[in-house]
Amino acid sequence: MYGAGYRMESLIKKYSDKLVSQNLCEKDTPLLGAIDDSIIWSRDADEIPVLEKVLLSLNTSSILYAPVKEPYRSIINYLAENSTDVIRPDDTETRTFLHDIPVADQFSADEIIDNLKKRKGLIVRNRGIVTWGSVSPEQAFVTFSSICFSCYVKFMTDFYFHSKGIAKLPGNPEKTAALAVSMYRDFIAALQGEPSIQGPFSSPDQTAAAIIEAGLLTVKSGMVDSFFGNISAKFGSTIYISQTGSSLDELSGAIDPCPIDNSTSNAITSSSEFSAHKSVYESSPAAVILHGHPRFSVIMSMLCDDMNCRNRGLCHINCSKERFIDDIPVVPGEVGTGPRGLAKTIPPALKGRGAIVYGHGLFTTGTVDFTDAFRNLIDIEKKAFLLYTAMTGLS
């Protein structure tokens, strides 16, 4: 029987490896430490004394520091260089999870502690990102991933307005934007694979297996990080949906069967967007729903040139216009069932290939299995990328 120390070492290795496999960090660069009987570190490093002081001062369980891989490195360095003490992205992930991203000048314990008392993570200029987890190394990994995503979306969104002469950026953002576009073009051109489990599904077990496969494929394709996003399938009178807080690439044992008639309380632990999924199934022939956060779909959803709109700044909850990216509607929506919640805005919009929620992510459906839903996720993201490059002159 393995002890607690072994389990913690396994978790540290798991999330260090995820940072590399999800193209956020170079191999052997993440420095992840966690408290067990003693503090266990993923590797030896000169930064350990500073991070150990931070870890013990915050009375938390884990801490993560790593330089980031390109193009995140250039993007984050640019944003940090041209900010005072905080970066404020406007995507939903930031609004609901990060709030804002502090920027520290020095890799010092006092400066890091001061910032991490108020936020889950921070950027140290020209060094990298530091995050912490109160319970598990997973939390530090999730925050790190979210900071990378939010900074990418913010920079590329800001660059669009810069390219149009609407809001000029300082310095030379063109070089960084060109690098990001070039790398993403190569990445998306190499995408391949699709779900192998074909429908109609014949049992609850096959339904769950299809969800597990589609979730793993969605993460591997880079259409969402492992933590955010959700996925579901309808079998009979039951909706099978990923649990809230689950990793889409680890859904075995994390799928809730929720009867449509609400005859059980399973929906309590299911995805926070269960109500939106349920409404889609009730109003369409959908058999499956796939929700990811592909970056250029999110970026394109935030590009509106009407600077004098009466609801400018409220686009995520109260957009004044009917908007489309090609044939894909862009709608506002908050998580939940409120008057401006996704359960109200997504179902009427999700009649074609998909629908994008402003600053949040892309929903697609399939009428039999995940084949069409996954293809639509990739195809819509490719279209969004091509539109962005054409609009900014980066094609």
Q: What is the 3-state secondary structure (H, E, C) of 34-76?
A: EECCCEEECCCCCCHHHHHHHHHHHCCCEEEEECCCCCHHHHH
**What is the C-alpha separation between 263 and 118, in angstroms, rounded?**
41
The arrangement of secondary structure in 204-392, i.e. its CATH architecture, is 3-Layer(aba) Sandwich (3.40)
> Residue 11: is its pLDDT beyond 60?
yes
Task: Read off the pLDDT of residues 322-353 as tens digits, 9 standing for 90 and up.
Answer: 899 999 999 998 776 677 888 889 999 998 89
What is the SS3 assignment for 323? Answer: strand
Domain with CATH 3.40.225.10 in the chain: 4-185, 204-392
Give the architecture (CATH level 2) of 4-185.
Answer: 3-Layer(aba) Sandwich (3.40)
Looking at residue 266, its pLDDT comes to 56
Please provide the size of the chain in residues.
Answer: 395
Measuring CA to CA, which residue among 152, 106, 156, 111 is closest to residue 126?
106
The set of residues, in sequence order, having a beta carbon less than 8 Å from that of 165 and lying 6+ positions away, is none
Lowest mean pLDDT among 24-33, 75-84, 113-122, 225-234: 225-234
The owner of tokens 């570190």 is 41
pLDDT one-digit tens code per residue, 351-362: 889 999 999 999
* Nearest-angstrom CA–CA distance, 39 and 20: 22
Average pLDDT over residues 310-321: 71
d(CA 11, CA 49): 21
Distances (CA, A) of 324 to 82, 266, 304, 331: 32, 35, 11, 9
- Distance in Å from the first CA to the final CA of the chain: 56
Token pair 């804002």 is found at 100
82, two tokens: 């041209």
User: What's the pLDDT band for 262 if we cut at 50, 70, 90?
Assistant: confident
Give the tens place of pLDDT for each residue, 41-68.
999 999 999 999 999 999 899 999 999 9
Task: Give the contacts of 62 (CB within 8 A, at least 6 positions apart).
Answer: 32, 33, 34, 35, 55, 132, 133, 136, 137, 139, 140
> pLDDT class for 300, splitting at 50, 70, 90?
very high
Which positions ≥6 away from 271 have C-beta within 8 Å?
230, 232, 241, 242, 243, 244, 246, 277
* Upstream peptide bond of 170 is cis (omega within 30 degrees of 0): no
Full-model pTM:
0.94
Query: What string of DSSP letters covers 183-198?
Result: HHHHHHHT--------
| pLDDT over 70 at 263, yes or no | no
pLDDT value of position 270: 58
Bond before 347 cis per omega within 30 degrees? no
